[in-house]
Amino acid sequence: MGSNNISAEDRERLIKAARAAAKRAYAPYSQFRVGAALLTGTGEIFAGCNVENASYGLTNCAERTAVFAAIARSGPKLRIRALAVLNAKELPCAPCGACRQVIFEFGPQAIIFFPTAQGWKQAHITELLPEGFRLK
Ligand code: THU
């Protein structure tokens, strides 16, 4: 899996940024406001929130918004070291399957932090997405 240790300080920075992003969510249909924040290989943090749509399937999850924002701001060499996701209601919030695949593209060694019914969990992306798809 390779070593990718995330300090307690970086973990807290990520959770704080994700919490702030959840407040900016556009979720009038589900009322489930989600925030995500990622730490890059160069130490920057980028955040995103879910953006829903009246045509439900067009909704963009918070994690993908964070990834796309990072690339839009910093370019395609993005390396995701870690990502935290949460929702404003403090309910369990593991990343969905589509977001796992998108995170894996830029962070095959990423550590993911998310709330479960048993409290915060930390998992390697490959634990959440075994055999992630790659073209090369
Ligand atoms: N959602 C996320 O933002 N991230 C996830 O990983 C799971 C689901 C959002 C999508 C939708 O706006 C709301 O949560 C309810 O599904």
Rounded distance, CA 5 to CA 111, Å? 8
The rounded Å distance from CA 81 to ligand 1 centre is 22
| Cα-to-chain-centroid distance, residue 102 | 9
> Which amino acid is residue 93, in one-letter code?
C
> Which positions of the chain have pLDDT values less than 70?
1-3
Structure tokens at 71: 């690339």
Is pTM beyond 0.95 here?
yes
Q: How many angstroms is it from 27 CA to the middle of ligand 1?
A: 9
pLDDT given for residue 2 in this prediction:
54
pLDDT of residue 75: 97
**Angle 80-83-86 from CA coordinates, rounded to 5°:** 160
Architecture of the structural domain at 8-128: 3-Layer(aba) Sandwich (3.40)
48: β partners? 36
Res 15: pLDDT: 98
Pocket of ligand 1 contains residue 22 by CB under 6 Å: no
User: What ranges do the domains of the chain cover?
Assistant: 8-128
Residue nearest to atom 1 of ligand 1 (CA): 61
Query: Hey, which residues are catalytic here?
Result: 63
Give residue 124's Cα distance to chain centre: 12
Task: Encode pLDDT of 14-51 as tens digits.
Answer: 999 999 999 999 999 999 999 999 999 999 999 999 99
Residue 49 in contact with ligand 1 by CB distance below 6 A = no
pLDDT at 34: 98
